[in-house]
Amino acid sequence: MYNSKIIGLGHYVPDNVVTNDDLSRKMDTNDAWIQERTGIKERRHVVPGDGDTTTTMGVKAAKIAIERAGIDKDDIDFIVFATLSPDYYFPGPGVLVQRDLGIKTVGALDVRNQCSGFVYAISIADQYIKTGMYKNVLVIGSELHSHGLDMTTRGRGVSVIFGDGAGAAILSREEDNSKGILSTHLHSEGQHAEELSLIAPGMGKRWVTDIIADNDPNDESYFPYMNGQFVFKNAVVRFSEVIIEGLEKNKLKSTDINLLVPHQANLRISQFIQKKFKLTDDQVFNNIMKYGNTTAASIPIALTEAWEEGKVKDGDLVVLAAFGSGFTWGSVIIRW
């Protein structure tokens, strides 16, 4: 059995910065509310017509990760792509990345799992590398939220939070079992599936034909819905549990953590976790202030920025943790 390790990271965000004040000119919200409740100051939105999609942003992040990994695109054995905002209903973006990067005909897998998507994707890549089946796996998390948000007062609790962007990692075989990804931990609780969801179009409750037939300008079924306070309460519990689970599995303590990179859902959630584990500001990486919640892209964007800022060093214990729609949650314990 091998371990896997991250050998290259990259991220891409669109140039278009949308501040809280920009939003308050378009909808019923204000900078004070957004900052106080979420910590977000600004986010990036793709300008319609600029050509960026979930796939193209993922490709841009992937190119940087591949270059930094010092490998060739033809060394990639498998692609895993996590998103809740794919370019097409089907096929998923994994194959579009294979095409756009001109990678040979390797397998491409699409992962849902929303805010936990990148953690799930890393876990999948890790298993393939552990068994020896693949040596280098490209893992991408990318989201284009801004084209699908309800910018009316009805949707403001959700639409001020989400932002666009992408992050990517190259996972590669590590023969030293004390290094790289030590363990991954995944969970789900589908009982709360609709508490953070986008119901339509779906083949279950709301078919495309229903939407067309109804032609209802007030239809909210195709906008994301979140029961914010309920999600928040579950998030703080599950984040804590899954971090503890990962540490215990490796006989580690929270004092061993050099850097925690939490999914950027809400600065208040990160601060709660920081306090619970008695971590310093330097031990928790947050960039939600600049990008909002970019769902499956948030951890790879944050991890890339942390690495670029020299906050991830050889030998460090790095913990990734996420919670989101599904509900799904998970953690990754890494000896860098």
Residue 37 binds ligand UT7 (CB under 6 A)? yes
Residue 33 binds ligand UT7 (CB under 6 A)? yes
Residue 235 binds ligand UT7 (CB under 6 A)? yes
30 a catalytic residue: no
What is the C-alpha to C-alpha distance for residues 52 and 101, in angstroms, rounded to an integer? 15
Interface residue with ligand UT7 among 105, 191, 215, 229 (CB under 6 A) is 229
What is the C-alpha to C-alpha distance for residues 170 and 76, in angstroms, rounded to an integer? 9
Residue 320 binds ligand UT7 (CB under 6 A)? no
293 a catalytic residue: yes
What SS3 class is residue 226?
strand
Type and span of the H or E element at 5: strand 3-12
Residue 273 binds ligand UT7 (CB under 6 A)? no
Q: Are 42 and 20 in contact (CB under 8 A)?
A: yes
Q: Which stretch binds ligand UT7 (CB under 6 A): 25-33, 41-49, 164-172, 272-280?
A: 25-33
Site string for ligand UT7, 104-123 (x = CB under 6 A): -----------x--------
Buried b / exposed e across 178-200, counting CB within 10 Å, b at 16+? ebbbbbbbbbeeeebeebbbbbb
Rounded least distance, CB 158 to ligand UT7, Å: 7
Rounded least distance, CB 231 to ligand UT7, Å: 4
Q: Which stretch binds ligand UT7 (CB under 6 A): 26-34, 58-66, 215-223, 252-260?
A: 26-34
Distances (CA, A) of 248 to 226, 245, 253: 32, 5, 7
Q: Which stretch binds ligand UT7 (CB under 6 A): 165-173, 212-220, 230-238, 308-316?
A: 230-238
Rounded least distance, CB 196 to ligand UT7, Å: 6
Q: Structure tokens of 132?
A: 């020896």
115 a catalytic residue: yes
Name 226's bridge partners.
Answer: 196
Rounded least distance, CB 68 to ligand UT7, Å: 27
Residue 231 binds ligand UT7 (CB under 6 A)? yes
- Identity of residue 23: L
Residue 157 binds ligand UT7 (CB under 6 A)? yes
Contacts (Cβ under 8 Å, ≥6 apart) of 67: 8, 10
What is the C-alpha to C-alpha distance for residues 193 and 191, in angstroms, rounded to an integer? 6
Residue 82 binds ligand UT7 (CB under 6 A)? no
Q: Are 9 and 62 in contact (CB under 8 A)?
A: no
Distances (CA, A) of 49 to 53, 107, 228: 10, 30, 32
Closest CA to 18 of 116, 145, 140: 145
Residue 38 binds ligand UT7 (CB under 6 A)? yes
Per annotation, catalytic residue among 145, 185, 263, 286: 263
Name 51's bridge partners.
Answer: none
Residue 242 binds ligand UT7 (CB under 6 A)? no
Residue 272 binds ligand UT7 (CB under 6 A)? no
Q: Which is nearer to ligand UT7, 34 or 108 (CB)?
A: 34
Residue 155 binds ligand UT7 (CB under 6 A)? no
Which residues here bind ligand UT7, judged by CB under 6 A?
Answer: 29-30, 33-34, 37-38, 115, 156-157, 160, 228-229, 231-232, 235, 265-266, 269, 293, 323-324
Residues known to be catalytic: 115, 263, 293
